[in-house]
């Protein structure tokens, strides 16, 4: 009756050998192709370093004015712009400016990369049910896999540093971008597409002049969720050398520094609220514009 109480499993030796073969195969792959993969990601490293240098070396009044200009241009809301100003001033006052700028530069590069990769995949999914059936299970795995697990293959391939952390953050954060791009394009009114066909628009013109503009509010929601998930990954990515607000939090956990952890955690929350309010308000403005055009 042991089989009734204990689930039958693979023999211990066979399981150990299987794990050993998989681990050795992956190590062999990293030894043979690690340098090639690092060279492939070298431009990404240069972009990330340039972004971080700009954010940390530019005087804080200029960065503050730039962020406020972006917030105002996207939202046209004095309340949101004032909230951004207060958040930035508090971050600077509590001596977290440099770490915050490093985190913002990481989120910026991560968002650009997620849009560059996620938008074309979302478009392909919207055009083909077969592609959607293939990609959806992959996205399900990416969204449910524990975030720590992403660090293992990335570190084995690229070691410790900014780029491995960035790749791990992108893998964790990109699924909403892909899903909501696909959803936004699929929700475009069929009557509008029929009207475009009647005017002789080809597939390229329909995509860039009809589907993407009408799907933009939904795509903006995807960008918003990507930013939020990237910020949630900041502390975990600091374990493999990503500089920013995550490293003081990690140090606070290791050394039981309560105030250090709370202050930097609140700074992450402040950035998250800034990004969230600005991107949501911009998405709402796009939605109202679309309703006016169709009204």
pLDDT, tens only, 239-288? 877 788 888 888 888 888 889 889 999 999 999 999 999 988 888 777 77
Question: How high does pLDDT run on average in the chain?
Answer: 86
Residue spans of the domains in the chain: they are: 14-294
Rounded CA-CA distance 105/96 in Å is: 14
Sign of the CA dihedral with 99 first, then 88, 62, and 169 last:
positive
Does residue 293 have a pLDDT over 60? no
Give the rounded percent of residues in the chain with a pLDDT score beyond 90.
39
Rounded CA-CA distance 109/122 in Å is: 19
SS3 state of residue 248: helix
51 Cβ contact list (under 8 Å, min separation 6): 105, 108, 109
Q: Give the confidence band of 34 by pLDDT, cuts at 50, 70, 90.
A: confident
Which range (141-145, 152-156, 265-269, 291-295) has the least confidence?
A: 291-295
Type and span of the H or E element at 290: helix 258-294
Higher pLDDT, 70 or 37: 70
- What average pLDDT does this structure show over 130-159? 85
- Rg of the chain, C-alpha, whole Å: 23
Cα distance between the two ends of the chain? 71
> What are the pLDDT digits (tens) for 182-225?
999 999 888 888 888 888 888 888 888 888 888 888 998 899 99
Q: Give the confidence band of 2 by pLDDT, cuts at 50, 70, 90.
A: low
User: Are 108 and 56 within 8 A, CB to CB?
Assistant: no
CA 192 centroid distance within chain: 32
User: Are 234 and 111 within 8 A, CB to CB?
Assistant: no
Give the rounded percent of residues in the chain with a pLDDT score beyond 70.
94
Which of 117, 93, 90, 143 lies closest to 274, judged by CA? 90
CATH class of 14-294: mainly alpha
């Amino acid at each position: 009756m042991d089989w009734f109480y204990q689930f039958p499993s693979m023999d211990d030796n066979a399981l150990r050998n299987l794990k050993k073969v998989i681990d050795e195969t992956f190590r062999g792959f990293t030894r043979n192709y690690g340098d090639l993969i690092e060279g492939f990601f070298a431009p990404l490293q240069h972009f990330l370093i340039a972004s971080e240098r700009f954010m940390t070396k530019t005087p804080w009044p200029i960065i503050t004015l730039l962020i406020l200009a972006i917030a105002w241009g996207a939202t046209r809301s004095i309340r949101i712009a004032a909230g951004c100003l207060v958040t930035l001033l508090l971050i600077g006052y509590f001596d977290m400016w440099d770490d915050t700028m490093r985190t913002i530069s990481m989120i910026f590069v991560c968002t650009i990369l997620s849009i560059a990769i996620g938008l074309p995949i979302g478009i392909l999914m919207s055009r083909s049910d077969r592609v959607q059936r293939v990609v959806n299970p992959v996205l399900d795995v990416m969204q449910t896999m524990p975030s720590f697990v992403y660090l293992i293959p990335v570190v084995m391939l690229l070691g410790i540093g900014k780029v491995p952390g960035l790749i791990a953050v992108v893998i964790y954060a990109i699924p909403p971008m892909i899903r909501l791009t696909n959803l936004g394009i699929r929700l475009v009114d069929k009557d509008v597409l029929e009207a475009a066909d009647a005017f002789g628009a080809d597939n390229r013109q329909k995509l860039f002049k009809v589907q993407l503009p009408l799907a933009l509010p939904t795509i903006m929601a995807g960008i918003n969720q990507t930013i939020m998930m990237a910020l949630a990954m900041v502390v975990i990515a600091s374990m493999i050398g990503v500089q920013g607000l995550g490293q003081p939090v990690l140090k606070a956990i290791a050394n039981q520094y309560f105030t250090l952890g709370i202050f930097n955690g609140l700074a992450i929350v402040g950035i998250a609220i800034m990004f969230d309010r600005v991107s949501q308000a911009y998405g709402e403005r796009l939605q109202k514009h679309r309703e006016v055009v169709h009204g």
